[in-house]
Chain A
């Protein structure tokens, strides 16, 4: 059997480097545009709507970038939702509306993020517990500790801090910039650094990675710290928007399962080793476009849930049809 690799195939290989999720995004975008123009109130293709799509994607998007790392390395993180809650509550609690306390609050929540990431990483690498169970447990622990002290909104965020969520640099909201920066940095690290290479390797085949001298435990620790940090950044954005943090903001947004869904819809394999942050961004935007479309169509919250579930399944099915893996 001859397996020549002529130049044509190599060009195709490069073309295939565009995550297929973007084609789905394009399709859904066009479909949404059409549907809204025909049936909806308000118009789709105006700057407000488009900005809206981007802004509503920020919270999920930032944490989904982190979750991409987790899933690419063959792991996953279910504790992001409660970490977001902890971040929101702790930052507004510490800030107490005082702009001078903002740096302190930020430092504290980032430190908490690193700490949680390390804990997750240690449980997974040292105790060798399945990431599902490990991160589920840490999320429970955070839930418990959170509920002990806080049942409701705690403290508040200074008005100036809310600029993050509401103001922008010219026409571009700061929040979108934040998302963009996180996404670009995330993709950059993944593609251009050794660490990123090793993330793919550990997710592709941990044993092969190990035998090649990669310190798999370190990679996983790094990954989990990164996920947690992105969760913290998400939480910071959310609390900036809400003006104050409450313990239910994380689970309410279902950031744990939704971020995983966004990553998978973006084309990353759930088993790891294949995919990209760029794809995840497309996945998040797909959800954003759909949400906005539903809003403009007056679709109720519950119907939205149903449609979202269907889209998730359909998107992943379209990838799976192309590959021939045996799944469980």
Chain B
């Protein structure tokens, strides 16, 4: 659904950034960037990672100071030395990682740092009342109470708390950085409706940063494309297509990204078979994974996709049913069991569950291999006594790094993902489970990962790919499995449409049902 309102040319911009330049040691992050935001507009900000979106926004909200250029709020020139100052002027940002305290209540979080006082003491009644009022305005008061601890809320609800906080600050401009990465489709739609209401009712301007072009096109009225620190163009959303935007971002077409799929002769014997696998979250899973194919797994948040991966990897094992790897019956009761069977699992949260940030790339790559070898075995150098060659693996996954002794946290997201992939190749995995393989990875690196996936399949691996991005599912999968409430409800062939997938994923009902809540 495209927002149809064109921005009224007569309205004055609420925020104007002109000639913003920002330099870091060795790089010009932003070069003479100018941006205008009008009240009540939803403005998309896109660009590859490193294009400067985050830097620009951090300058806007006072986390960074520009080396050159000015910021105007209305007619007033402003400079901020601390995010607090920007907040007081009505500029708020919601980061991807929420700035919430889990052990404090919703109201305490909303008013963090600005607790209302009465006779010098914190006025909890006032705090709760004001928070409740805001929750009512957003019409979410029946599911979020001011006195609930934030840790008891779902991710989507926590995001709403962030929005409430921004509103309590009388924000005029709200920047949202990748807000939907942890949300289900229904939650995304609810969030979008919230945003639309806020922009209409309160004239709130929203700057929406996302890699998900579908959302950009669904929500925004204008789009600014950044590339290498420069503004490529600012366009009206209705005047362009996603391909146009991608071309502006990187100079390539969207559909060039997906490598050709497997032909029937490419798909070989069954590598992994699950018969009637069940546990607390999964029911009656029957699936077969063959060598040479990429099988996509689609479904709404909470449908059990990650639980399926965890069951296959021994993290939350099946409690009934059987599993066969390469024709042999096995029990996958721990990650080590799975690894010994040649299964590898790339989790969706690289930072929290994937990388060892302060260890070298080499140590990260060899982690699973060494775990296989056991605690008391000896480290040999690459190539000696069966130790894989990290250099060769690095080449195979196209890992770009100055040295394998560098700490892995200095790598880009795409390269980190490749390093994790190398980890599984090093452990001898040929059944690979990817959970959101390209999350947080910029557009050009995505293609690299996709090509790698396909290459691995061609060379005999069996690939299971979980993804929330339907274009990725459709583009990559030879078959699509759809999950719904812990069951595999559909197996769809390649070339299936998004509608068909969504239909299956919602259990056969339409997506926009009034009953579905967060």
Contact = CB atoms under 8 A, between A and B. Distances in A.
Q: Do chains A and B touch in the complex (CB under 8 A)?
A: yes
Interface of A: 1-5, 9-10, 13, 192-194, 196-198, 200-201, 204-205, 207-209, 211-214, 273-274
B163 to A, nearest CB: 15
Given A2-B518, A192-B121, A273 B113 contact: no
Contacts of A207: 99
A214 B111 CA distance: 11
Contact of B122 (A3, A193, A213): A193
A194 B114 CA distance: 9
A1 B518 contact: yes
B491 interface: no
Given A2-B518, A13-B149, A214-B113, A200 B103 contact: yes
B302 A1 contact: yes
Contacts of A205: 99, 101
Interface stretch (B31-39, B152-160, B280-288, B447-455): B152-160
A9 B145 CA distance: 11
5 contacts: A3-B152, A13-B148, A205-B101, A208-B100, A274-B103
B13 interface: no
Contacts of B114: 212-213
Contacts of A209: 101, 112-113
A207 B112 CA distance: 12
A57 B102 CA distance: 33
B103 A3 contact: no
Interface string B9-28: 00000000000000000000
Given A200-B101, A204-B103, A212-B113, A2 B144 contact: no
A196 to B, nearest CB: 8
B143 interface: yes
A241 to B, nearest CB: 35
Contacts of B143: 2-5
Nearest to B61: A211
Contact of A197 (B108, B144, B147): B108
A201 B149 contact: no
B103 A5 contact: no
B148 A5 contact: yes
A205 B117 CA distance: 23
A263 to B, nearest CB: 16
B147 A13 contact: yes
A4 B142 contact: yes
A207 B99 CA distance: 8
A208 B99 contact: yes
Contacts of A197: 108, 112, 115, 122
Contacts of A201: 101, 104, 112-113
A10 B144 CA distance: 11
Contacts of A10: 145, 147-148
B84 interface: yes
A273 B105 CA distance: 12
B507 interface: no
B50 interface: no
A104 B115 CA distance: 39
Nearest to B102: A204
Contacts of A2: 143, 517-518
Interface in B115-163: 115, 117, 120-122, 142-145, 147-149, 152-154, 157
B87 interface: yes
Nearest to B114: A213
Given A208-B101, A213-B82, 7 more contacts: A3-B143, A5-B145, A5-B152, A194-B117, A200-B104, A204-B103, A212-B114
Nearest to B148: A5
Nearest to B85: A213
Contact of A213 (B113, B145, B147, B518): B113
A196 B100 CA distance: 17
A212 B121 contact: no
In the complex, which of the residues B117, B122, B153, B157 has the most CB atoms of chain A within 10 Å of its own CB atom? B122
Contacts of A1: 154, 302, 518
A10 B132 CA distance: 15
B354 interface: no
B460 interface: no
B4 to A, nearest CB: 32
Contacts of A196: 122
A273 B517 contact: no
In the complex, which of the residues A196, A198, A213 has the most CB atoms of chain B within 10 Å of its own CB atom? A213
B259 interface: no
Contacts of B108: 197
A3 B153 contact: yes
A161 to B, nearest CB: 34
B518 A273 contact: no
A35 B149 CA distance: 40
A97 to B, nearest CB: 42
B101 A273 contact: yes
In the complex, which of the residues B112, B147, B518 has the most CB atoms of chain A within 10 Å of its own CB atom? B112
